Chain A
Amino acid sequence: MKEQLAQLKNQFNQEIAKASSEQELAELDTKYLGRKAGVLTNILRGLKDLGAEEKKIVGPLANQLKAELEAMIKDRRSRLKGLADNQTIDVTLPGREWPQGSLHLVTKAIGEISEIFEHIGFVRRRYPEVEWDWYAFESLNMPPDHPARDEWETFFIDREPVGPKGQRVLTPHTSSGQAREMERQQMPIRMINISKCYRRQIDVSHAPMFHQFEGLLIDKEVNIADLKGTLDYFAKQFFGSDRQARIRPFHFQFTEPSFEVDISCGLCHGEGCKMCKSGWLELGGAGMVHPNVLQAGGIDPKKYSGFAFGWGVERTYMMKSGLSIPDIRMIYQNDLRFLKQF
């Protein structure tokens, strides 16, 4: 009996493989599973005449086979149906248009940058965008009348100082957060500040509002090697593992020594090409926190040292993606044809 079932299965397999239409399938269904005279139906019907022992063995086998055959017919049927449907749908018609959302490119850039620094323990913070002159300049080693202030074309709320901390200004850089962070008096500091900045400049390469990010690390025994390591880590994480960062001498009032940070050109890999300056692209500024700045923030420069770095979010993102946006102001004009590209 067992053999008979196995043989039946074989035969069925051969026949179903040949079945290529719904009608053939129906015939097959009737032949094996038909209520009146199906081959398997007959066997199942005959089970009751078997001895108790044999019934115990063959019964489940026969029922299992029935389920198998049913499933195979069903499967075959749906496959045949699929073939038929394909012939009635014009697959070249456009797919349904789902609404296409987009994150602003600045949000994307901020997300990537903050994640990279959070991995090495930098904590993201928020500071005022409308800030006292003292935080924006004076605490950063730029007393009133200092010519270095001219480099920041600053928006003022007040023409003259209105309190002990001077005028209210729109933060011209994220460095305004340095003294605020130090005032919290929680050491060590590993802070990242990504924020809107404002300068009185408007042309194809300057928007009056833009974004900067700033890292500040203050601890005992922090030195230039630590800064180099941090910058190199960022360069590799953000731009790619084949890229390098280097620092060159520069000058800022609030760091000493001060550096300009370069990243190796991704196009020529340091050979020098039209896109770069002798193999390197300028990223932004960095330096060891000036002792006067530590003091302004209430930190003893004899005990602690630190480094800071900061530069433009938009520029950094465009450098990474190789985007050539002809006019930087387009980033803030919110033309949906522009935004939906991101």
Chain B
Amino acid sequence: MSAGFLISAIILTPLIGAVLIALTGRWPNLREAVTLTTAASLFALVTQMIGPINDRQPLTLTLAEPLPGLSIAFDVEPLGLMFALLASLLWFVTSIYAIGYMRGNKEPRQTSFYAFFAIAISGAMGVAMSGNLLTLFIFYEVLTISTWPLVTHNRDAKAMAGGRTYLGVLLFTSIGLLLPALIWTWVSAGTLDFTPGGILAGNISTGGAAILLGMFVLGVGKAAVMPMHRWLPAAMVAPTPVSALLHAVAVVKAGVFTITKVVIYIFGVDFLATVPLEKYLVYLAGFTVIAASVIALKQVEIKRMLAYSTIGQLSYVVMAALVLAPFSEIGAAIHIVAHAFGKITLFFCAGAIYIASKKTRVDQLRGIGLRMPITMTAFTVGALSMIGVPPTAGFVSKWYIIAGAFQVESYFTLVVLMLSTGLNAAYFLPIVFRAFFTPETETPKINHGEAPWPMVAALATTALLVFALFAFNGPLVDLERRILEVGQ
């Protein structure tokens, strides 16, 4: 398969799937079959890229060149491959889960739900494979706009208000900060291509670079660095599969992925190390980690708590990328995957609890572990991964981030990580304790057991993935080591 064909196929498969979903909307079983087939074929296609990337063959495609020197082009590298694999794999798992959730909850407008979901995945694939900042920006906006109908899926006043915040913050940051940053980069460097070692060194003063980096970090609103984080809790009005895949994986990871790409391939780690004010952005990310955890501590809605936990975990990645140590860059990359597996499990559990018992609050979970043992076990696994306890995935990424912090002696990062670990434990462990070790105070209105089997199967799968990443992280780490190679 030629590189051009493969890349186009990966972008187009979800889009074709979306069209087919719209056409088969009248027959729900067929429609869900289309979704699953599309997701499976997408994952199969993405795995086709592993070989060439391992063999260091270029995987590029230039579609068009609207302005001289500025093209719509794709260039797959290890980081993008990892993101594409992650999103396509979890799309398949989420699709299984969504079938259980959407049917269990008798949701209206399921056809448009699955169709927009597929379009959003196509956007995520575009972000993952883009070869320059302009292409990335285009797919970034596709992702923003295609997820808006999913956030406002319920169409009631609350959903509309949430949708307005969502679109408002994401569009404002991307047009108001990211786009000018992009143009500034282009004017300074004369190109927007992702290049190992960066393109800005020598083309911009260090003061300018500091401002530019600030514009990137805040302009990528999807990374939810404070104060640009408000859209993420607002997005929790969406059905849980959306929160799980998009607002724990595809959308938010597109944000931190963008920041990591910008740090490594636009600025270049070596050049950023010479920028004096760069460490203030580390402080900002560190502040976000702590502040989001403190806010999460006070949440009673499970999904809102998970949203604030996500904000904190995203800033781990941002902070790790900005610490600029070789190990921490790898840690940032691994954490994109590690957090995705853990957080999607937690969201799956929250949705399963809601479908089975209609409970949405933390304080309602007394004794629920006995009624839903598989779900709450998976929840525990996800929570342990958030805290970073071995043998879960969260431990691996935290290990590398801490190692990186020691490499450059960034004690601020170490303190933030330790504090955050404590805070994570403080808001996750009481839930686990309450679910398993306190008896139900009253008999619930619904005498429920586990949620429908597709949901349980999905959350069990992602919980196993949390362990799998801990056990088999070698190939991934080896692959991601390559992002720091310069001059290939």
The reply to whether chain A is a binding partner of chain B is no
Identify the A interface with B (CB < 8 A): none
